[in-house]
Amino acid sequence: MNSPAPNDREKVVSKLPGWLRKNLKVRAAQHGIEIQAAVEQGIRDWCNLASTTATIDTSGADSFSTFLPPGQWEDFRQTTTDRRVSLIQGLAQSVQLWIDANPAPDVARPEVTRRIVVCNQKGGVGKTAITAGLGEALAEDSNSLHPVRVAKALTKALRASEPQTADAAQDDDLLDIENLPGPGQRVLLVDFDPQCHLTNQLGATPLPMNGDSLTNHMAGDPKGDLRELIVSVDEDTFAGRLHLLPACHDAFLLDVRLSAVRAREAALERALAPLEGDYDVIIVDCPPSLGLSMDAAAYYGRRRDDERPGQSGALIVVQAEDSSADAYDLLTTQIDDLRGDLQVDIDYLGIVVNLYDSRRGYIATSSLQGWVDIKDPRVVGLIGDLKEQKEAVRVKQPLLSYAPKSQQAIGMRALAREVL
């Protein structure tokens, strides 16, 4: 989070061990302050101590530069001389003093488990990729920095009326990237699609037809505890914060089985409610359908009495082409009918334009403009059609593990921060 020196600061150069420099960058980002401000405060506090603090291991220290108020570095040099420690040791102690005085903030947890329903009755728009990428981005480590596209990319995309090369588009996006701590959320991904795409893409195994499943729990015929079916996704990367409830092909029969269930709109909520206390966010990857299962998913995402607007609801995935607009109209009509019939509030969390490529010309750019013009719900994500997502699917790994610095991963993190 370094920035150019203002007129009232001067550049100073010393050394710090790499591990300490990394800890400083992370902690400063967690508190949303500039590194130079953190170092300035640390040096001031260290100089005001009655004596030096514990010795820091500075082996392997390499160049470190920052900007300090005029005169502070000279006063610091004099203090290190008086205390008979090296400049490098004094700076290391100062930085560690600031880190110790500013512990990592607690991860912000919602009072009510958020429920995000990723939907569109049109197949092939990439709902599964968005479900997985959003969940991965929300679950990333809050004590590590990850590249995020923090500025709005939509304006730039719309300005690009002429097709551009993929390299040029990526170079343009790099101007908007900042390294930020992950949200650190506890996330459950629910594969609600009988095709089991989410389950397969994340390297899990679909549940057997003769065993227990989410379908059985929704139909009122459970064969055990739903928790026993949940699997952890990539423990090395997400450290137990990201889980998956795999799908079973028996979900092809869900609409038929739901037709015999009382209050069938609440069937998904009855099944998942016992799990909610374990998670901050539950994301449901819906099937390309407008049947009873979609009613149950939309109802699950409704706003509850103790919940603020925009915390839970429907996230609609589309592409920048005409058939997505037709499917969007059908989906929103179904949700609006459900709102009226059951007298519930179902919020739209936004539109994600997926698999976008301005090189496809007028169809893509004009369609994107059409989505942006809707305003309510607004476009909250723009994800490019690049190779890394397809590669991650092929090797059955999470995108943010396989290609954490790719433009698609950076876009998923931007989407996560829009939805948070």
pLDDT at position 165: 43
Residue 319 backbone phi and psi in degrees, to 5: -120, 160
Task: Report the chain (420 residues): mean pLDDT per 10 consecutive residues.
Answer: 61 96 96 96 96 93 95 96 95 97 94 96 90 98 92 53 42 67 98 95 95 95 96 97 96 90 94 97 93 95 95 95 85 94 96 90 88 92 93 96 95 94
CA 315 – CA 183 distance, rounded (Å): 19
- How many whole angstroms separate alpha carbon 243 and alpha carbon 241? 7
Domains of the chain in sequence order: 10-101 (1.10.1220), 114-419 (3.40.50.300)
Q: What is the pLDDT of residue 161?
A: 37
Q: What is the per-residue pLDDT for 90?
A: 96
Residues 6+ apart with CB under 8 A from 21: 64
Residue 200: exposure state from Cβ atoms within 10 A (0-12, 13-18, ≥19): middle
pLDDT given at position 360: 85
